Structure 1
Amino acid sequence: MPDRPPLSAPASTSLTSGPALTPMAFVNAIVLAYRHRGKDPSAALALAQIAPDDLTDPAARITAAQMERISGAAMQELDDEALGWFSRRLPWGSYGMLARASISAPSLGLALQRWCRHHGLIADDITLQLAVAGDSATLSITEHRSLGELREFCLVSVLRNIHGVACWLIDSRLPLTGAQFPFAAPPHAGAYRVLFSGPTEFDAAQASLRFDARYLALPLRRDEPALQQMLQRALPLTVLQYRRDRLLVQRVRQALAAHTAQTHNADALATLLNISPRTLHRQLKEEGASLQTLKDEVRQARAQDLLLRTARPIKQVAEAAGFQNETSFIRAFRSWTGQSPAQFRRLGKALPPA
């Protein structure tokens, strides 16, 4: 990174006013990294307004601001952006170098491939890999040596880092469909619901994140000036929640088409997409769309396809298109096409049943 932030803060600055969600186990991992280097973490703890007595309370939590403060202080004092995870230090600026190597890529997919490849050049203890199978993309970590007591903190942080960078590069939420970790559920497993969207699985074969592969085709929306600004305070990337989801409209269409019976209302659809109904409506509005319009588009396309491609009765077509009854379907179909379903089928020369 170009410049190191100051190792001091005004005494009046309160870091504890926000929600305390980060497990104390991660602070203890940083303290352990200090001890491995024969250094005293007291100054960093004080700077982050973390009382030493709290370190022994497994139920204790700290705020995102406190985590940012102690992580930044530790990276400087240990001169290691990896905070002791690997067999060799990652000097200050290492992750900035990875970001610079990725930002010129034309798409998120290529940017992530570059990040994974270059990460292996600076830290050979693990390998990051991006794989695509069908409509699902997976970012996974292969471990090449024991990460010891820092294993959980390392795997969580590396995946949080690359996920945060990916969101920043495309200036969009990148919702996860799942996260996996190769260790038993820790006492603070509940915090993983905040750390990673989507369901989390423990005792897996390796650490990984899964998401919709269509995000990989999105173009990057950041340039060098934006990178310079981001690197002045990069740590919030791991906790920043982007309001915009640049693929939400496509994801909604896909969910409506694939899960007709489960998407009759906004609540059910939002649950399927792992967001709140309020967020669903707000983000669709930001994208210039509405749920009702998208539902009509998907229903119309499905109804027309069934009318032209099959000989199903109108009542069955209505049900397959997501309507509760035939009457409401016929009324909606007339508003879309100016014709009744029967007229549309007759004029379209319906084919035999598929």
Structure 2
Amino acid sequence: MANPHHPAPLAPTPAAHPRPAKAATPMAFVQAIAQAYAQQGKSPAQALALAQIAPALLTDADARITTAQMEAVSGAAMRELNDEALGWFARPLPWGSYGLLARASLSAPTLGLALKRWCRHHHLLADDIALALATAGPVASITIAEHRTAGPIAPGGALREFCLVSMLRNIHGLACWFIDSRLPLLGAQFPFAPPAHAAAYAVLFDGPTDFNAGPASIRFDARYLALPLKRDEAAMSQMLQRALPLTVRPYRRDRLLVQRVRQVLTNQPLNAHNAHDLAEQLGLSARTLHRQLKDEGASLQALKDEVRCQRATELLQRTQRPIKQVAEAAGFQNEKSFIRAFKAWTGMSPTECREKDSNTASGSETSSTQ
């Protein structure tokens, strides 16, 4: 569906001023495509010409191409070879195979179930590898088990790196598209030594990339698995008309970010006094934090007020702490500013809130005894 040549997906957002294309894709991936042609006894000349890649560059290990060029050469190769896997597997995957997998997962209620379906159905198409989704505490992972002992993607095979990188990039891109959200990776690992173009992996995957640490896998926050799918059949049909750039769309929205911010504010209030400290806890810059919250229709101040109000209300209703101590626990330096803020949030003073809860509890007890 897509190809490994650009930062992980962020959320589609219009750009007022297009940025000049940056040549960052390693030539090794184009060499892998040329190898797929060789396996069928064909020449990649037409695909290279379509992508405006000079044949002489195939022998230049330091050469780089743009994402648009990679999209063009990959799409042309898949059609000419009638193989969306580009020679990775024992049998070709005819054009449209990955579209069928995506459609089969579209009816899933959550991302977790959609990814499980995709992994399971992929094994029906090709048994050279098996993808699996797993969770371990707060971390989810998608792992590739390799079953080939011979052929191009066997250990040491010419197409192995291209296959493993592409498969993880593809399923990551599809996951982001399903939930219409950025899905930041915690890291990636691969069972081979660092290639000459290892520096490109910082662009291909979020987080650190470890080599000589198989099996190939990516890791991310498991809470994303519970998010509902945001796409329908019409969106799927439109996406499949041009699915190759799926992993290069600039996803900025993070549908889980609001929940993550609430959790840090609730569990680590002393480490989240300001935007800089909070952003550091989330692995973001303060600027990115503010921008992504705005994309979600939220603001840091509103979330801080929400968490402080909830904390204060719980203490008022469940304890007999003095108002001054409640104010301090909610993050206020003085009682007066707390009372003023609490009344703005709830329409009542802290004392009125406590009395209201007390009256409600008394009424319940009276009703139960009648």
User: What TM-score comes out, normalization by structure 2 length?
Assistant: 0.78
Pair 1:37 & 2:26 matched: no
CA distance in 1, matches of 2:276, 2:79: 46
Pair 1:23 & 2:26 matched: yes
CA distance in 1, matches of 2:313, 2:99: 52
What SS is found at the alignment partner of 1:327? coil
Q: Give a deviation string over 1:282-335, Cα, whole Å, max 9, x none.
A: 2212322111221233345456667867989x78994x76x5xx736x455333
Counterpart for residue 181 of structure 2: 172
Give the Å deviation of 1:280: 2.1
Asked whether the 8 Å contact 1:267–1:276 carries over to 2, the reply is yes
Counterpart for residue 265 of structure 1: 274
What SS is found at the alignment partner of 1:131? strand
Counterpart amino acid of 1:115? W
Give the Å deviation of 1:199: 2.6
Counterpart for residue 185 of structure 1: 194
Q: Evaluate the alpha carbon distance shift between residue 85 and residue 269 of structure 1 in structure 2; reply closer, same or farther with a 3 A threshold.
A: farther
CA distance in 2, matches of 1:61, 1:263: 42
Q: Give a deviation string over 1:233-262, Cα, whole Å, max 9, x none.
A: 000112112232222210111233344454
Counterpart amino acid of 1:237? L
Asked whether the 8 Å contact 1:30–1:71 carries over to 2, the reply is yes
What SS is found at the alignment partner of 1:167? helix
Counterpart for residue 338 of structure 2: 333
Counterpart for residue 13 of structure 1: none
Q: Which moved more, 1:93-102 or 1:19-28?
A: 19-28
Give the Å deviation of 1:125: 0.8
Counterpart amino acid of 2:66? T
Aligned pairs for 1:245-324 within 5 A: 245-302=254-311, 318=328
Give the Å deviation of 1:271: 3.9
Q: Which moved more, 1:182-191 or 1:268-277?
A: 268-277
Q: Give a deviation string over 1:205-254, Cα, whole Å, max 9, x none.
A: 31112222222222222222221111110001121122322222101112
What SS is found at the alignment partner of 1:246? coil
CA distance in 1, matches of 2:35, 2:74: 13
Counterpart amino acid of 1:130? L
Q: Which moved more, 1:38-47 or 1:66-75?
A: 38-47
Counterpart amino acid of 2:82? D
Asked whether the 8 Å contact 2:309–2:342 carries over to 1, the reply is no
Pick aligned residue for 1:115 from 100, 105, 118: 118
Give the Å deviation of 1:29: 1.3
CA distance in 1, matches of 2:240, 2:354: 59
CA distance in 2, matches of 1:150, 1:297: 52
Counterpart for residue 7 of structure 1: none
Percent of residue pairs identical = 65
Asked whether the 8 Å contact 1:197–1:274 carries over to 2, the reply is no
CA distance in 2, matches of 1:255, 1:230: 35
Counterpart for residue 129 of structure 1: 132
CA distance in 2, matches of 1:185, 1:263: 37
Pick aligned residue for 1:232 from 233, 238, 241: 241
CA distance in 2, matches of 1:268, 1:223: 38
Asked whether the 8 Å contact 2:312–2:326 carries over to 1, the reply is no
What SS is found at the alignment partner of 1:149? coil
Counterpart amino acid of 1:231? L
Counterpart for residue 229 of structure 2: 220
Counterpart amino acid of 1:256? L
Counterpart amino acid of 2:246? L
Asked whether the 8 Å contact 2:192–2:211 carries over to 1, the reply is yes
Counterpart amino acid of 2:176? C
Q: Evaluate the alpha carbon distance shift between residue 346 and residue 191 of structure 1 in structure 2; reply closer, same or farther with a 3 A threshold.
A: farther
Q: Evaluate the alpha carbon distance shift between residue 132 and residue 34 of structure 1 in structure 2; reply closer, same or farther with a 3 A threshold.
A: same
Pick aligned residue for 1:78 from 78, 81, 85: 81
Aligned length: 330
CA distance in 2, matches of 1:104, 1:287: 24
Counterpart amino acid of 2:338? F
CA distance in 2, matches of 1:66, 1:297: 47
CA distance in 2, matches of 1:127, 1:87: 14
Counterpart for residue 202 of structure 1: 211
What SS is found at the alignment partner of 1:132? strand
Pick aligned residue for 1:159 from 168, 174, 188: 168
Pair 1:144 & 2:138 matched: no
Gaps of 5+ in 1: 2-15, 350-354
CA distance in 2, matches of 1:180, 1:331: 53
User: What TM-score comes out, normalization by structure 1 length?
Assistant: 0.82
Asked whether the 8 Å contact 1:179–1:207 carries over to 2, the reply is yes
CA RMSD of superposed structures (Å): 3.1
